[in-house]
Amino acid sequence: MKRIIQIPKIKKHCTIKRVGIFGSADVDEKHPLYQEVFKVARYLAYHNKVVVDGGGPGVMAAATQGAESAGGETLTVTFNPSDMPEFEGQDSKNIPDREIKMGNYVERMFGLIDESDAFICFQGGTGTLSEWSTVWLMSHLYFGNHKPIILYGGFWREVMKVINDNFFIGEKERQLYRVVENEEELIAALDEFELELSDRCGLAPLE
């Protein structure tokens, strides 16, 4: 006799409250990327957004510290392996309000995705590429109830041109993200995405 398992329905995404931040673990406080992320996270905190990151150094630490500097709420989703020498793990300077510990790298990545309502992807390495491509895929699969993606940095225009020119990328997939180059464009993209979510859910626009 077959056993049928009922999967809970996916929660409808109507607002952007928690923002996941992805980017390089290999930059320090003096690097322009670190400073840019710090400012972005501080802006998010000033506007009552929860900043979510992986609990490590670099961009992740900048995200937590930027939000904390404005009295914002922070959450990290972490994993501390004993057999992955190239994985940065937690950073002692990344001290959030709340931490969720995961058992492996895949759980950590999907924990970050699950805990976020939208994503900002900064410059990074292979880890950032895996996170960005996964959230893009998930948003495509859940199109119509997807989580928005912001690609921060002018270099993303060149990256996306190469991908759109050489892969089978559909029009819906192009609607899931915005490329921004500064805080002003980020604010505009967030406002645009929040309006889309309000329309999707039949909510009054946020003031």
18-201 folds as Rossmann fold (3.40.50)
Domain boundaries, the chain: 18-201
- One digit per residue, the tens of pLDDT, for the chain of length 207 reads 555 555 455 678 889 999 999 999 999 999 999 999 999 999 999 999 999 999 999 999 999 999 999 999 999 999 888 777 777 777 889 999 999 999 899 999 999 999 999 999 999 999 999 999 999 999 999 999 999 999 999 999 999 999 999 999 999 999 999 999 999 999 999 999 999 998 988 865 544
Q: Is the pTM of the predicted complex or chain greater than 0.75?
A: yes
How far, CA to CA in Å, does 175 sit from each of 27, 72, 148, 160, 167? 30, 30, 9, 12, 16
Residue 194 phi, psi (nearest 5):
-65, -35
